[in-house]
Amino acid sequence: MSAATLTFSRSSTRQRISLDPVVLSCVLALLLIGLVMVTSASMPLPVEPFLHLRKQLMFAGAGLVAAMLAFSVRTDLWERWSFVLLLIAFALLILVLVPGIGHAANGARRWIRLGFFNFQVSELARLFVIVHLCSYAVRHREALRTSLTGVLKPLGLLALVGGLLLAEPDFGAATVMFATGFVILFVAGMPWRYVIGGLGLAGGLLAAAALTSAYRVRRLTTFLDPWADPFDSGFQLTQSLIAIGRGEWFGVGLGASVQKLSYLPEPHTDFVFAVLAEELGLVGVLLVLALLMILIWRAGMISRLAARAERMFQAYLAAGFAIWLGLQAFINIGVNMGVLPTKGLSLPLMSYGGSNLLITLFWLGIVLRIQHECAAAGRLAVPKPVARQSE
């Protein structure tokens, strides 16, 4: 795998840092496009001009600092402290449900106030749960492949965490986390018979969770025919489809969206993709899709590189990022285009919001650290030429 190499000196010791230029380029491009689209989509909102741009810039800066901090931590330490991280995840998911601690908005209790912004704890909790699953897959690899008990333990953990997420409620986050964890277990060697059974059980539980709520049932049925009630239950989706349709090939022009003018709900968060499609057209959509796909592919290549270096925890963790990023982007874009029921999931690296952007960049820092360690291990494995003695 090609990588940009930076060399610096500290005292008398020279160290080389390997950074994947493709990952860095895609992330920076998506961040810049996201900043432009958040600014454009939020301009009609009844707030101070450029308020959301300033906040998003602050979140992006904090996220880049978090990525550098994550990059500075050896990945074996994440594996060593995985159980402690799991306990922290459970503590966060329980604390957010406590009245007075968890902040409620729009019928959901998902945030903890941190003074200057509300932190969505499910973002960090999901990362810590995935870290523990990757550690479990390494420590209990044989049991995962041969024993039903070895499979039920991580699936039970996912179900328990999913239950806490549904209590907030956050159906979208629960779905993405369970799917990501399930795929990691499959990559780690979970047999096909357990995969089929687990999919059936997960599908049944998610269906039961959806059908026991009138609100979720309405969302599930609305996307099938949003035009049947375009001014009530189908309002979000119909406005999103109108925005995407107006974009055609090259869009109506940056800043010229009509649907963001109080027609499309949450144009700078859940439906920023629809605004992008309207203003930049199919060309802009294809550019964003290409950047996301390249980033996902590159994370998969880093996972493969770690597997070849026999660093299986790191391989599973990089694969987990690729799976999570692909799933969340697919669901957000699918919701905007009306092929999936409406979910409150942001578009990674582009939608407005501090929690998701902060944790996404933090996880990217870990992925880049995995690539750096594998590259360093490869350099150490190459024998140095022996200087020929003068005769």
The three state secondary structure string of 296-334 is HHHHHHHHHHHHHCCCHHHHHHHHHHHHHHHHHHHHHHH
Single residue among 178, 212, 246 that ends a domain in this structure? 212
- Side-chain-facing half-sphere of 100: CA atoms under 13 Å: 0
pLDDT at site 375: 87
Is 384 inside a domain boundary?
no
Is 138 inside a domain boundary?
yes
Placement of tokens 């800043």 in the chain: 255
Confidence (pTM):
0.87
CB neighbourhood size of 36 (10 A): 17
- Side-chain-facing half-sphere of 187: CA atoms under 13 Å: 25
Task: Please report which confidence band the pLDDT of residue 391 belongs to, taking 50, 70 and 90 as the band edges.
Answer: very low
**Rounded CA separation 33/11 (Å):** 40
**Rounded CA separation 202/162 (Å):** 10
| pLDDT, mean over the chain | 84
Distances 315 to 32, 137, 188, 214, 319 between C-alpha atoms, Å: 29, 11, 10, 41, 6
**Residues 39, 92: one domain?**
no
- Note down the domain range covering 268: 31-72+234-375
What is the distance, to the nearest Å, from the Cα of residue 229 to the centroid of all Cα atoms in its chain? 32
pLDDT beyond 80 at 58: yes
**Residues 129, 262: one domain?**
no
Average pLDDT over residues 276-288: 95
CB neighbourhood size of 54 (10 A): 12
Between the ranges 167-181, 195-209, 303-317, 334-348, where is the mean pLDDT highest? Answer: 303-317
**Residues 162, 110: one domain?**
yes
Is 290 inside a domain boundary?
yes
Is 381 inside a domain boundary?
no
Is 386 inside a domain boundary?
no
**Residues 132, 200: one domain?**
yes
**Residues 176, 94: one domain?**
yes
Is 218 inside a domain boundary?
no
Is 9 inside a domain boundary?
no
pLDDT digit string (tens) for 93-152? 999 888 878 877 767 788 888 777 788 888 999 999 999 999 999 999 888 888 888 888
pLDDT at site 77: 94
**Residues 156, 256: one domain?**
no
pLDDT beyond 70 at 217: no
**Residues 279, 204: one domain?**
no
- The two structure tokens encoding residue 40: 């454009």
Is 89 inside a domain boundary?
yes
**Residues 206, 107: one domain?**
yes
pLDDT digit string (tens) for 36-51? 999 998 888 877 778 8
**Residues 63, 93: one domain?**
no
**Residues 43, 105: one domain?**
no
Total tally of structural domains belonging to the chain: 2
Classify 17 as helix, strand or coil.
strand
**Residues 332, 254: one domain?**
yes
Q: Are 218 and 233 in contact (CB under 8 A)?
A: yes
**Residues 188, 304: one domain?**
no
